[in-house]
Chains A and B, each alone.
Chain A
């Protein structure tokens, strides 16, 4: 069932996934043929790819989530014969699947592309990992709105969850950034961010499981 749902999403959002792949493909080709965009702006040269791939992917993935919300996909799945547990796992899988795919692809690129592009790839990684955390927080807070504890208003509840997770994330990032936590692999701090992003994705999935309303 899970595989079916994910394949279904791939089919429905094929255009989005294609648009996400485009900059990556162009980057790969340019990297392999040793061509680069030679602009005179220091900022753009340094951050061009991380912005395009990072922010680009973020907007596309965020767009998918918004579309799912607008079209009420959660609601249909709630009354279709899919166990709640599977739906929560699916939520987790769909949350991490696009970004994790890009990450693995980037790791693969590190092996085939010239070393000079390593820093660029790292910057892309860093950008993506932060956006991963951000997406997770958004998803969690939305689901948290539909959870029990009726005493507090919806908006206050989800706003507080956004704030708490953001503070935790910011604190975490600062700790790692200040090298308080030794990196697993030397020079590859962003792994922690991805792990933290996965933690938040798990939290999102658990909160989804505890939802009381899918209306």
Chain B
């Protein structure tokens, strides 16, 4: 299976912040969710991938090709929606899309028409008169129209209402269905898109904290409540403990192990509930 992208040792230095060294890969047919607080370096990573920023070290490969600013082959494989939505403001959506279409041999007007219909974007309004939600939608169409093998989306659902977000998810699911394409999206709101992600990568302060299959997280993390008489509770895999008298509530990153330990300690009234991806992400990012 081919690798949609491979980031090896990428470093980018800023006065107050340093990204990397960063190593991250994505296999074709997979969806990778890039999670982290604001300012952790998600946008910078994507800037370095698509050619907006030149990294200070390391390299980026897109489907096996270096992201060399002087070659364009690798760019045909990418559809990018960034943190800023840039248009010819005095032109309407149709003209803006026409401008983009000249650059991509794989551009499909038919697909554009379909997406315009699904997202309900007014193509005859000037770009500067579009609402921020419509601007996002227009950017998405511009990135999807040439059916790129790798979609790089920087907080794609920001500013979209729930109806459109669902529509976008549908489109994204269609994109990965064939198994040849891949999606790399960054977010700090997980509940929206968490169902589509196969893998999650957590970024904090420029460093990759954790890369894990999303299902591994939701399968293993639980909130567990129990009653215990002893004061000394030595539990592994527990990241958060609350206690009121004999009542305990903990968050476990491996509930099977924790429950076994609790049974050994003769804990009572053991109850466990699943956690949402959002809740798990908060705990992971809180950890040092």
Contact = CB atoms under 8 A, between A and B. Distances in A.
22 contacts: A12-B91, A72-B84, A73-B86, A75-B52, A75-B86, A78-B50, A79-B52, A79-B75, A79-B82, A80-B100, A80-B103, A81-B72, A81-B104, A82-B103, A83-B71, A83-B72, A85-B70, A150-B13, A150-B15, A213-B52, A214-B52, A215-B53
B13 A8 contact: no
Interface string A191-215: 0000000000000000000001111
A179 interface: no
A108 to B, nearest CB: 32
A75 B100 contact: no
B53 A213 contact: yes
A213 B43 CA distance: 13
B80 A12 contact: no
Contacts of A168: none
Q: Which of B54, B91, B104 has the most CB of A within 10 A?
A: B54
B25 interface: no
A75 B104 CA distance: 17
A71 B75 contact: no
B90 A75 contact: no
Nearest to A13: B90
Report, nearest first, the 4 A-B pairs whose CB atoms are least far apart. A81-B72, A81-B75, A84-B69, A212-B54
A71 B69 contact: no
B99 A8 contact: yes
A59 B161 CA distance: 42
Interface string A61-94: 0000000000111011011111111000000000
Given A8-B99, A75-B52, 7 more contacts: A71-B87, A76-B86, A83-B69, A83-B71, A83-B72, A84-B69, A150-B13
B86 to A, nearest CB: 5
Interface string A141-161: 000000000100000000000
A155 B84 CA distance: 23
B88 to A, nearest CB: 6
A180 interface: no
A78 B52 contact: yes
Interface in A71-122: 71-73, 75-76, 78-85
Nearest to A79: B50
Contacts of B84: 72, 75
Nearest to B90: A12
A4 interface: yes
B133 interface: no
Contacts of A75: 52, 84, 86
Q: Which of A81, A214, A215 has the most CB of B within 10 A?
A: A81
Contacts of A8: 99
B53 A212 contact: yes
